[in-house]
Structure 1
């Protein structure tokens, strides 16, 4: 009942609503029953106790509409949850009909090597994806190793498409394709120090931006600049002048472009 109430209160009628969030049921499964109370440890449990005592809260949260499942770090009866296709496919997808996204716990995919079910990081990615992990949390394993695994045929395009489909469906349900900034909230609800210099590091950010400007293609021999006295500015930067330090200003003695308390502006001149 508590899990159901939390999901419904946080997601509201739709996770796409401005004041709603998508919930995640975790840690799947039996994370609270590890041997000796040791975090990330093994769970040794009969199916009867698992389904009677530990699975109902997960199921209630999912039935209430939770869109995500974070998979546990522990092993369940000898199999790491991150590589347990019975848990993630047979039970979660086929029996319960879950349509949302599954995500690994923090660093859980590389932990498959320590569990002894994967030989190296690439093999850990193969095992995790094939077992039903749609998204890798807090590492670059999927983006780094999946292209090679697909190319070698160790992971099929159908398997990759299935995982990708779940990720995109969640983004769609959250309304991120219509408005990727919808959950940022209105400006007047920001804390008073949101635009504080100490938080935004504007001075440092502006300096880095200045020093990182690069001419990608020297068309028409733009550089080096010829020794002429006057330049004409056009486009969005028209009417702006460059000071000796390279900073654009509006008019004579004007305020530097981008010196607004709530945002930066990027300007370019021709």
Structure 2
């Protein structure tokens, strides 16, 4: 989960670099998780799933915006020029409902209502397909009793017909053969028949298609028209990518050429996506003082964990550690550290801070990347054993304490938030993790990250997410042994300056339902000591609808750069279609009635203004 800020421009630029490096490696297609969001039913358990690290968060709008930017970065805007411009074919996955697995366990059963399927799971796919994504990967799971890789309704009726997808569908790893394990097919031949007939165009890894399609075609068990359609879809993608002009790749890929500008962009992405969760008494940015900084914690010298999941080809030695970044920027004389295997040494040095000339502490904690990724699910969201206690012991000493948490998912950090002076959350940053986090800690870059997913107070609080529905008794929805609020709200993130929003108003009290946009205005002010960039988030509430809707849902965002003490009135146009929902027939429905808009810095925004949509 690297996407902690709604910045499609950075997402697209990063993915341009990834596509170019992939072409150097003679890779022509990239698979990515990012068309599926962690939302609604998904959050009943999904935070515990290892693959939560691969997505864009819990919100359909967020996922769609950033997923579309990723497609733009990978494929470019001119599909006929992909290969010449060193771009690759993008693949949106997994279609569909994979994220709703029971208990957060990969490959498990999923149950999703028709309403949630169309309004939480399908919208991000609409966005990436509208941007021209050329391939889609089917999912492992069964959804409401139908296996996703063998369902005609999902692959043909919803994906190809309703969403108008003209590219090809590729199975996930061995998903066609796994129809046998699902109990849907008795053997490879049946698995091939069911999957191809459902709308699968390409099988990954296993040989069900290869071994059985010829005889299935001869017997009439599969139609020539369906087979022709599958072949045509695959050939069209190869033609557009230029494989008929240049079909061969070298036995050995050429050496990767990583430019200084590529590393600079990676460093900037790490710095700006770090999420500042607490900053008591302006502990951050760190200042290089006359004394020394104690650098400690189990992740201080880590390399492989910073690469994150799905990094089998990554080279840990290429990763600049947190400690190495401080050494390069401040010099080794500015800090003290200890044997990374002996945390008690760090505690002893902190207790003897006067003799060691220590005047501030930075501790690096979190989870190893082996606790995330496919089939690495957890039952408990706590930090690994001993880390919370270690931080609390350091906090008791009384020196300014900054905690950097590196993880791939939300963790239970209430005790850390209570005892630390500053807390920075950094998802896996890759080879530039150390320098990027250093830039944020020292103020070279302002932290601009905002949480893409709600942080619970306890594992048992799941599901907890920002776009919940009211139910008939909203006053009685909580647990008797837990506060009915998250630890940290969706969209939350601090800056080294401070912002205020005020004077939200609608430009007209009513708009027709078929209006292109609705227009609002508000004042955004920088009330802090330095320049900054505010992420203003807009949420909407539909007061009365024919189907139950969330109490509020993210419908727009706006970045506003402001100098210190500057104030601006900004005009906002929100597409009216974002206020609608999809009905059971898959039709976008925008109903008349009252809508309230909330504007602010996270999903708890309370500044509001209302308007009415009129007409049919």
Q: Calculate the TM-score normalised by the size of structure 1.
A: 0.66
Q: What is the aligned residue count?
A: 191
Per the alignment, residue 475 of structure 2 pairs with: none
Counterpart of 1:167?
234
- Give 1:100-179 correspondences, 5 Å limit: 100-179=167-246
Paired with 1:188 and 1:47, the residues of 2 have a C-alpha distance of 48
Deviation at 1:116, TM superposition (A): 1.4
1:93-138 CA distance string (max 9 Å, x none): 1111110010111011111111111111100000000000000001
* CA drift at 1:42: 1.2
Greater fraction helix: 1
Q: How does 1:205-224 map to 2 (within 5 A)?
A: none
- Deviation by residue 1:149-182 (Cα, 9 ceiling, x = unmatched): 1111111211211111111011011111122248
Contact 1:27 1:70 in 2 (8 A): yes
- 3-state SS of 1:115 partner: coil
1:44-70 deviation line (CA, Å, top 9, x unaligned): 011111111111111211111110000
Contact map agreement 1:18 1:182 (CA 8 A) in 2: no
Q: CA deviation at 1:146?
A: 0.6
Judged with a 3 Å threshold, the aligned counterparts in structure 2 of structure 1 residues 176 and 91 are, in CA distance, closer, same or farther, namely same
CA distance in 2, matches of 1:67, 1:120: 31
1:8 aligned residue = 72
Q: In structure 2, do the counterparts of structure 1 residues 31 and 17 end up closer, same or farther at CA, with 3 Å as the change threshold?
A: farther
Structure 2 unmatched ranges of 5 or more: 1-64, 259-616
CA distance in 2, matches of 1:55, 1:150: 33
Helix, strand or coil: the match of 1:162?
A: helix
For 1:79 and 1:120, locate their aligned partners in 2 and report how far apart those are by CA, in whole Å.
Answer: 17
Q: How far apart, CA to CA, are the structure 2 residues paired with 1:133 and 1:183?
A: 30
Pick from 91, 112, 123 the counterpart of residue 45 of structure 1: 112
- Aligned pair in 2 of structure 1 residues 16, 179: CA closer, same or farther (>3 Å)? same
Give me the CA root mean square deviation.
Answer: 2.2
Q: CA deviation at 1:187?
A: 5.8
Partner of 2:604: none
The answer to whether the 8 Å contact 1:176/1:182 transfers is no
Deviation at 1:17, TM superposition (A): 3.2
Determine the structure 1 residue equivalent to 2:89: 22
After superposition, residues 80-95 of structure 1 pair within 5 angstroms as 80-95=147-162
Q: Is the 8 A contact 1:107 1:137 kept in 2?
A: yes
d(CA) in 1 for partners of 2:139, 2:233? 19
Q: SS at the partner of 2:181?
A: helix
C-alpha separation in 1, matches of 2:254 and 2:200: 36
Query: What is the distance in 2 between the residues matched to 1:189 and 1:84?
Result: 40
Structure 1 window deviating more from structure 2 (172-181 vs 40-49): it is 172-181
CA contact (8 A) 1:29 1:71 kept: yes
Look up the SS of the partner of 1:154 in the other structure: coil
**Residue 16 of structure 1, CA deviation:** 3.4
- Deviation track 1:186-207 (CA, whole Å, cap 9, x = no partner) reads 968669xxxxxxxxxxxxxxxx
Structure 1: stretches of 5+ with no match in the other structure: 192-270
Q: CA deviation at 1:89?
A: 0.8
Q: Which residue of 1 aligns with 2:124?
A: 57
Q: Could you tell me how far apart the structure 2 residues matched to 1:156 and 1:102 are?
A: 18
- Residue aligned with 2:89, SS: coil
Contact 1:69 1:103 in 2 (8 A): yes
Q: Which position in structure 2 is the counterpart of 1:233? A: none
